[in-house]
Structure 1
């Protein structure tokens, strides 16, 4: 099968007009994961042509439960753009999202490039400037979140927006496996998680990403933000909601809708 990545990217771009798109796998039956990444890259190239700037990457499907639900055995990734960042304590404008869900994560900010395919955990530790608590607002252009792995990959790994906390920590000073996170919606606890929920350690997620990107001749660059994956289940957000993630070793981060 030969796909038209630009056509499928354009199909997704209509989502904000049509209030959700039909799945890519219905428009292009037989779409493979590799082809879906080409659709994602086509979308990112269009964004760059319009003046956007890549600020980093996000890693998705890092929990065993999410991988099992989509029948896969590894995570996926998407790109972060400067237009996606919301300031801590900020508010999300309704026109920026379709069907948002909120997750608590740990973000890595790099001080050195990381280029696969042979990146190790030691390399990630050496290349990380600092880590911060973070919120990822995932959002699907696919109507009602009825998607397969190929659909989410093509849709930039269901990336929406992200929020970085202000407390910075050196990676060697924090045992990420035991960092605990509590997710609150409108002051009510929704769920909790730990760093171990993210591929046993968020460092492992960044290792996976750096090596996976080598397949597409892409590498992680100095200064980039890497969202390493959710520590608990995503919670749907609506206008008027207030979310706060409290990390037992790293402070908190919050956002309003």
Structure 2
């Protein structure tokens, strides 16, 4: 492992620990060196697992919505790791003091009942236990969100947590491509979208994740929760007001609140 990769991992780890943002790291890596960026993310995941005794419980796919890709200036998805201290129940209240630059986005999450050892769609569908509505809690360890794909990958795809709803549906029960979502800030609508915004269908994001996970030798495992990507736009998560994502097709809603200042 190169010294620069270890240094960048240390810088990002310290930024998260102290809530002190740093400069983007892309200029210190070779153009397009995604392997290095994922190595940085993995170093810090391993460090949290070892130092805090945390378990890996899932993964997230990011940058699956063309609107989000354009806003982020990238043209491909990425993924991050979800640890057990990052999963919250509907209605969670999180402290503003735990974030640097909090944002929020609404998605669908898939939970697996068996390992995914082949990336063909039928194998993936057979491995799904249920689908549930979710909100991703986003944070950025940099001074701003003007990230390249290398910056976001190294920063665990900007994932700081997820909130799951209470409704669970079998994969075949609903046409996920047609599920509509509206995200409200209090009573104000801030973004909306439809399932097919996510790589033309949320299952395609899970297939991309399955293929990528197999390629790096870390297949998706039974019990994992998988975030498939934002149905609408990512939005600022303001304090002291409840954000609620409402879904069609019987998925209900899921909410989260950020409380207090820093």
**Structure 2 CA distance, aligned partners of 1:183 and 1:84?**
21
**Corresponding residue number in structure 1 for 2:230:** 230
Say whether the 8 Å CA contact 2:57–2:84 is kept in structure 1: yes
* Partner residue, 1:114: 116
Structure 1 residue runs of 4 or more that deviate by more than 6 Å after TM superposition: none
Q: What is the number of residues matched between the two proteins?
A: 255
Alignment partners' CA distance in 1, 2:88 and 2:178: 27
Q: Give me the whole-angstrom Cα distance separating, in 2, the residues matched to 1:31 and 1:74.
A: 12
Distance 2:237 2:59 in 1: 22
CA distance in 2, matches of 1:100, 1:180: 24
Tell whether the 8 Å contact from 1:195 to 1:231 is kept in structure 2 after alignment.
Answer: yes
- 1:221 and 1:95 map into 2 onto residues whose CA distance is 33
- Which residue does the alignment assign to 2:25? 24
How far 1:87 sits from its partner (Å)? 1.8
Q: Where does residue 220 of structure 1 map in the other structure?
A: 220
Q: Deviations over 1:27-80 (max 9, x none)?
A: 446471111000011011101102011110000010123334555442100000
> So what's the TM-score if we normalise by structure 1?
0.94
RMSD: 1.7
Alignment gaps of 5+ in structure 1: none
Conserved in 2, the CA contact under 8 Å of 1:5 and 1:42? no
Q: Which residue of 2 aligns with 1:125?
A: 125
Match of 1:76? 78
Output the CA distance in 2 between the equivalents of 1:239 and 1:163.
17
Aligned with residue 64 of structure 2, among 56, 62, 65: 62
Which string of whole-angstrom CA distances, capped at 9 and with x for unpartnered residues, describes residues 138-195 of structure 1? 1111111121110000000111111000111011000000000000012211111010
How far apart, in 2, do the equivalents of 1:18 and 1:225 lie? 26
Q: Which residue of 1 aligns with 2:195?
A: 195
